[in-house]
Amino acid sequence: MNPMPPRGKRSPARRGPAASAVLTLAATVTAAAALVSCGTDSDAPSSEGSRTVSERPTAPDSSAFSEKTASPLKSQASEAAESARASASEAQASASERADEFEASVSADTERANQAAENALKDVDGKGNAMSDVSMTGRPRSETGGVLASVVTFTNRTDKTADFAVRVDFLDSSGKTVETRYVGTENLEPGKRAQRYAISHAPPEPKLSAKLVKAQRY
């Protein structure tokens, strides 16, 4: 029997050119499959529990912002302006009503006397002949129901019974006349005094001031 050859380390088998080519091709195919798998997974929807990547938002369609969209805004602006005008009109009407009520509470014949005063001053030039016989003092709004009112005091310094008429202008902060009122008293005896009210029918704002413009004794 031939003796067994001694066991030793086997030398690695030599690889020829064909084997190297097969290994290289296999590695290339494996890498390509991995890339395809990654690309496919990124495009497909994620499974339950994973976060879904949303698409990039697109720019808004400019046609959506048309005149139809602006129309409701214009309508709202128009309604707001109309509401403001209505509120101002209501405020003026309310102020006028309060002034009428206050005048009526002061004297039953106030309107008749004031109308007579206006008629008496129609043909009067300048400031009239009785400016020194008339004075005017403002009254707090808390005492006049919230309206602007001034007390006009007439003094008959003659020896005969006389009628008096005055014109009072209500001015704004720039000095412009906003309203004119006429106040009068009749049959004032010599040496006597009488008081009447000049009452504005204008709204509380803007604030006005009263000015005595004319005074006539007749």
pLDDT of residue 75: 61
pLDDT in tens, 25-82: 455 545 444 444 444 444 444 444 444 445 555 555 555 545 555 555 556 666 666 6
Distance CA 118, CA 199 (A): 14
Residue 143 DSSP symbol: G
DSSP string, 1-54: -PPPPPP-PPPPPPP-HHHHHHHHHHHHHHHHHHHHHHHHHHHSPPPTTSPPPP
pLDDT of residue 204: 84
Report pTM.
0.53
pLDDT of residue 40: 45
pLDDT in tens, 129-166: 999 999 999 989 888 888 899 999 999 999 999 999 99
Please provide the average confidence, as pLDDT, over all residues in the chain.
74
pLDDT of residue 89: 62
Closest by CA to 130, choosing from 141, 121, 138, 118, is 121
Distance CA 45, CA 134 (A): 96
pLDDT of residue 112: 84
pLDDT of residue 205: 87
Strands 193-199 and 177-188: unpaired
pLDDT of residue 143: 86
User: How would residue 87 be classed by pLDDT, with cut points 50, 70 and 90?
Assistant: low
Question: What is the distance between the terminal CA atoms of the chain, rounded to a whole angstrom?
Answer: 172
Highest mean pLDDT among 83-97, 139-153, 180-194: 180-194
Residues 6+ apart with CB under 8 A from 187: 161, 163
Q: Where are the alpha helices (DSSP H) in 44-139?
A: 67-106, 110-120
- Give CA torsion, residues 206, 211, 217, 218, to 10 deg: -30
Find the range with the poorest average confidence among 47-51, 175-179, 181-185, 199-203.
47-51
Closest by CA to 177, choosing from 135, 210, 134, 138, is 210
